[in-house]
Homo-oligomer: A and B are copies of this chain.
Amino acid sequence: MIKKKISINDIARSLGVSKTLVSLVINNKSDIHGISKITQQKVWDKIKEMNYKPNLMARNLRLGRSNTIGLIVSDISNPFYSRMARHIEDLAEKKGYNLIICSTDEKIDKEIALIKMLKNRQVDGLIISSSQKNISEFNTLLAENYPLVLVDRCIPKLKTNYVTVDNTKGAYEAVEHLIKQGYERIAAFAISPVHVSTINDRIQGYLKALKDHKLNYGNAYLREIPFDNVKAAVKKEFKKLIEGKNKIQALFAINNNIATACMEAINENRIKVPHDLALVCFDDVDLFKLTSPTITAVAQPIDEICENALKFLFAEISSKGAAEKKKITLATKLIIRRSSVL
């Protein structure tokens, strides 16, 4: 239990003035309203003396805002998202906003429940990396002009603000890099749910790179790994793919989690990288510099993603009525680590 805090009324009473006056002073509106300098000073002194802090819940109720931003991702402990969260936190803090972070585990129902919950909490805006394919919940948000920015993942047909990277191109470049080193049978480990735009785009990039370079096996080496069972599933599929006469020569991991699982599989099967198998992945993680096997990775510009996302979000928050929707697609960068490919 918490002790009773002092309120604006206590300040007003103890100075023998109205709380209107105190409020005006606090909000730097006293000059406009012609409160004398002397009184202003008295108020500030008393505030300091009594160590008064405005109750933000009360203020926000009145003002209809919360100075809070909701961030919804699939898993905050994924390094990609935790780095994002950190940067968003820093940028938001500069404007006096805090962050409520929520993880969905790719569960659509949970995502919808979280969106509703954050709306009830009156968060002033949402930044979401959505697992959704159904857009009805988002259409509700849009109809309400609720400030919203989708990051990382796009939802086709949904007209809102987007900050993404060129996943198709990033994947294309990674796979093309493998092909140019002479690898031919290149497998890809995607992750379910596949309808997620980033995953799908990366798959398309992979397939296009194969096709453009006359590797005509289509999706014969494409595997889909369930989100909630990455390690086991990767290991099982991996084992199958490295056997037989059509065994694979290279592997494209569609995100950092899959990549980690692939590396474990490689080590457990005592595969030599890059001699027996080459490895590239989407997402770069600091520690990928140090892994064995090493891994060539598609790095995403996390800082830029966050900066744009907040720029878009604050534009929405401060605009009355429907704001123009913005979209930016940032470039990825292929980080080539020599020993991961021949």
Contact status A57-B53, CB under 8 Å: no
Given contacts A120-B56, A146-B2, A290-B291, A89 and B102 within 8 Å (CB-CB)? yes
B102 near A98 (CB under 8 angstroms)? yes
| A285 at interface, CB cutoff 8 A | yes
Interface presence of A82 (CB below 8 A) = yes
A61 proximity list for chain B (CB < 8 A):
55, 57-58, 61
A290 nearest CB across to chain B (Å)? 4
- Nearest CB to that of A316 among chain B residues? B1
Closest B-chain residue to A68, C-beta based? B100
Residue in B53, B85, B290 whose beta carbon sits within 8 Å of that of A101 in the complex: B85
Q: Which residues of B contact A292 (CB under 8 A)?
A: 290-292, 294
Stretch at the interface among A72-80, A210-218, A239-247: A72-80
One of A24-32, A169-177, A182-190, A260-268 at the interface:
A260-268
B60 close to A57 (CB less than 8 A): yes
Partner of A103, one of B86, B289, B321: B86
A window 51-67: CB within 8 A of B: 53-58, 60-61, 64, 66
* CB closest residue in chain B, given A83: B77
Cα–Cα distance between A117 and B93 once the two chains are bound (Å): 11
A33 within 8 A of B: no
In-complex Cβ contact of A76 among B64, B68, B89 (8 A): B89
A37 at the interface (CB under 8 A from B): no
A119 within 8 A of B: yes
Q: In chain B, what residue has the closest Cβ to A125?
A: B2
Task: Give the chain B neighbours of A291 by CB distance below 8 A.
Answer: 287, 290-292
Please state if A120 and B86 are interface contacts (CB–CB under 8 Å).
no
Total residues of chain A contacting the partner, CB 8 A = 58
- Is A203 engaged at the interface, CB distance under 8 Å to the other chain? no
- A131–B76 CA distance with the chains assembled, in angstroms: 23
Q: Which residues of B contact A144 (CB under 8 A)?
A: 2-3
Q: Which of B99, B263, B288 contacts A100 (CB 8 A)?
A: B99
A286 to B294 Cα, complex, angstroms: 16
Chain B: minimal CB distance from A297 (Å): 13
A66 close to B77 (CB less than 8 A): no
Residue A145, interface by CB 8 Å: yes
For residue A93, give the distance in angstroms from its CB to the closest CB of chain B. 8
| B-chain residues with CB within 8 Å of residue A86 when the two chains form the complex | 75-77, 103
Taking the complex as formed, is A311 at the interface, i.e. its CB lies under 8 A from any CB of chain B?
A: no
Contact of A275 with B by CB under 8 A: no
Q: Is A325 an interface residue (CB 8 A)?
A: no
- New A-B pairs, 11, CB < 8 Å, besides A76-B89, A85-B101: A3-B145, A53-B120, A54-B120, A55-B122, A56-B120, A57-B122, A82-B82, A86-B103, A90-B103, A260-B290, A263-B290
- Between A and B, 12 residue pairs with Cβ closer than 8 Å are A55-B122, A57-B57, A57-B60, A57-B61, A57-B66, A76-B89, A77-B79, A77-B83, A79-B79, A82-B85, A264-B289, A291-B292
Binding site for B on A (CB under 8 A): 1-3, 53-58, 60-61, 64, 66, 68, 75-77, 79, 82-83, 85-86, 89-90, 93, 98-103, 116-117, 119-122, 143-147, 260, 263-264, 267, 285-292, 294, 319-321
